Amino acid sequence: MTNNWMSDPAVANIDKAKLEFLQALVFESQTLSKEQMLPFLMSVAKKGSDNHISFSDEEVDTIVNVIRNYSTPEELSKIDNLLKLRRK
């Protein structure tokens, strides 16, 4: 996935630092297996907390919808898996 989603008008009101944080997350997670994903997400959550980065439910929904528009079918599958982990 490219970072074109970060220029989408739907995310224009979301802090660029948050979007860059997410872009790094997406880039770093691309090569991880299912077994590596949960520890990685826990690490990312800690990093976000340490840097005072948090997302409202509205921001998450907006970002996910925008990213979906720029994703391949394989990436969509990964997004769905991440969202399942988030709901648990």
Q: Crossing angle, helix 57-69 and helix 16-29, to 10 degrees?
A: 60
Is residue 11 within 8 A of residue 18, CB to CB? The reply is: no
pLDDT digits (tens, 9 = 90+) for 10-32: 999 999 988 888 887 777 777 88
Is residue 30 within 8 A of residue 82, CB to CB? The reply is: no
Query: What's the pTM value of the predicted model, to 2 decimals?
Result: 0.70
Q: How confident is the model at residue 2 (pLDDT cuts 50, 70, 90)?
A: low
1, pLDDT greater than 60 = no
**Across all residues in the chain, what is the average pLDDT?**
84
Cβ neighbours of residue 2 under 8 Å, at least 6 residues apart?
70
Is residue 4 within 8 A of residue 65, CB to CB? The reply is: no
